C-alpha cells in the first residue's frame, strides 16, 4: 500500500498554513496590517527566522506585501470580479442594477439561512453589535454612516455563513456597491420614511438570526432587498417623469 513516512512539518510551513487559512476565511482582510514581527512571533510561539521565512513565502505568492517602514499587510487579493469596461457598462444600465439586487436577494438570503444555522455565538454577537451601531447612527441622522454600516451589517452575515467562496465573491460585489456603481445608497437614506423602514427591516433580520430561525432570517433578507428594489424602481420612474417635464418646459420656452 502507498503509505509514506510522516515527516515533521517545518515551523515556517505551519505559520504559512495558519496565515493562509485566516486570509481564506476572511478573518485577515485585504489591506489589514499584521502585528509586528516580535508580537506575531510571540503569539505563534515560533522563532523570528521561521516567521520571516513564512512571510517571505506568502509575499512571493502575492498574499502579503511589505510597506517600507510601515509593516506587513494582507495584499489586495480581492480585486474586482469584473473588468473596468464591464463595471462602466453596469453603471450606465438600469438592467444591471436590478439584476444585481436579484442576485443579492438569492445569495444573501442563503447566507442568512446558513448564518442562523451555522454561525457561532461570536458571529451572531458581531452582527448584533453592528446593528446596535446602525441604531445609533440612525439617531444621528448621518446618511453616510448609515450607508457604511448597512454594508458592514450585510457582510457580517455573509461572514457568519461560513462559506469562503461566497464571502470573497460578495466582498468583491460590495466594493462596487460602495463605489456607487450599482446605486447610491446614501440617496435612499435621505428620506425619513425610507430610513425608518430600512432600520426596521435590518432589525427583523437581526432578530431572526439571534433567534437562530433560518427560514425567518432568509425571508427577512428577501423582504428587505425586495423593498430596496421597489424604492429604486420608484426613484427611476420619478426621474423619468421629471426629465419629460423638463423637456416639455424647454420646448415651450423655445417656442416663446
Residue 206 has pLDDT above 80, yes or no: yes
Of the chain, the percentage scoring pLDDT greater than 90 comes to 45
Give the separation between CA 62 and CA 107, rounded to whole angstroms.
Answer: 28
Which has more pLDDT, 12 or 113? 113
pLDDT on residue 248 = 63
- Interval 19-51: pLDDT, tens: 998 888 878 888 889 999 999 999 999 899 999
DSSP letter string, the chain: ----PPPPPPHHHHHHHHHHHHHHTTSSPTTPBPPPHHHHHHHHT--HHHHHHHHHHHHHTTSEEEETTTEEEE------SS-HHHHHHHHT-HHHHHHHHHHHHHHHHHHHHHHHHH--HHHHHHHHHHHHHHHHHHHHT-HHHHHHHHHHHHHHHHHHTT-HHHHHHHHHHHHHHHTTSS--HHHHHHSHHHHHHHHHHHHHHHHHHHTT-HHHHHHHHHHHHHHHHHHHHHHHHHHHHHHHHHHHHHHHHHH-
pTM: 0.74
Q: Are strands 71-74 and 64-67 parallel, antiparallel or unpaired?
A: antiparallel
Grid cell listed for 228: 430596496
pLDDT on residue 130 = 96
Give the separation between CA 205 and CA 171, rounded to whole angstroms.
Answer: 19
pLDDT on residue 145 = 84
pLDDT on residue 6 = 46
- Interval 89-143: pLDDT, tens: 887 888 888 998 999 999 999 999 999 999 999 999 999 999 999 999 988 877 7
Residue 214 has pLDDT above 90, yes or no: yes
**Dihedral pair phi/psi, residue 33, rounded to 5°:** -85, 135
- Interval 48-94: pLDDT, tens: 999 999 999 999 998 999 888 889 998 876 555 677 788 788 878 88
- Interval 140-197: pLDDT, tens: 877 778 888 998 999 999 999 999 889 888 888 887 777 776 777 767 766 767 888 9
pLDDT on residue 30 = 82
Return the closest-CA partner of residue 33 out of 1, 8, 70, 3: 70
User: Is residue 55 within 8 Å of 67, Cβ to Cβ?
Assistant: no
pLDDT on residue 1 = 47
Amino acid at each position: 500500500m502507498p503509505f509514506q513516512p510522516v515527516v515533521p512539518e517545518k515551523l515556517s510551513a505551519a505559520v504559512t498554513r495558519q496565515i493562509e487559512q485566516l486570509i481564506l476565511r476572511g478573518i485577515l482582510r485585504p489591506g489589514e496590517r499584521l502585528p509586528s514581527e516580535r508580537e506575531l512571533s510571540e503569539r505563534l510561539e515560533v522563532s523570528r527566522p521561521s516567521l520571516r521565512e513564512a512571510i517571505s513565502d506568502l509575499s512571493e505568492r502575492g498574499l502579503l506585501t511589505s510597506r517600507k517602514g510601515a509593516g506587513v499587510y494582507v495584499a489586495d487579493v480581492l480585486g474586482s470580479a469584473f473588468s473596468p469596461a464591464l463595471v462602466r457598462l453596469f453603471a450606465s444600465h438600469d438592467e444591471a442594477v436590478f439584476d444585481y439586487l436579484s442576485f443579492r436577494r438569492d445569495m444573501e438570503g442563503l447566507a442568512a439561512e446558513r448564518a442562523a444555522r451555522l454561525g457561532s455565538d461570536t458571529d451572531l454577537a458581531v452582527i448584533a453589535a453592528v446593528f446596535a451601531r446602525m441604531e445609533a447612527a440612525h439617531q444621528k441622522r448621518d446618511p453616510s454612516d448609515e450607508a457604511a454600516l448597512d454594508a458592514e451589517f450585510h457582510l457580517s452575515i455573509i461572514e457568519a455563513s461560513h462559506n469562503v467562496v461566497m464571502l470573497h465573491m460578495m466582498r468583491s460585489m460590495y466594493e462596487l456597491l460602495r463605489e456607487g456603481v450599482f446605486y447610491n445608497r446614501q440617496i435612499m437614506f435621505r428620506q425619513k420614511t425610507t430610513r425608518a423602514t430600512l432600520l426596521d427591516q435590518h432589525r427583523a433580520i437581526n432578530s431572526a438570526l439571534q433567534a437562530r430561525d433560518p427560514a425567518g432570517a432568509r425571508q427577512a433578507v428577501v423582504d428587505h432587498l425586495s423593498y430596496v428594489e421597489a424604492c429604486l424602481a420608484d426613484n427611476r420612474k420619478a426621474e423619468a417623469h421629471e426629465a419629460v417635464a423638463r423637456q416639455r418646459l424647454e420646448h415651450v420656452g423655445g417656442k416663446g
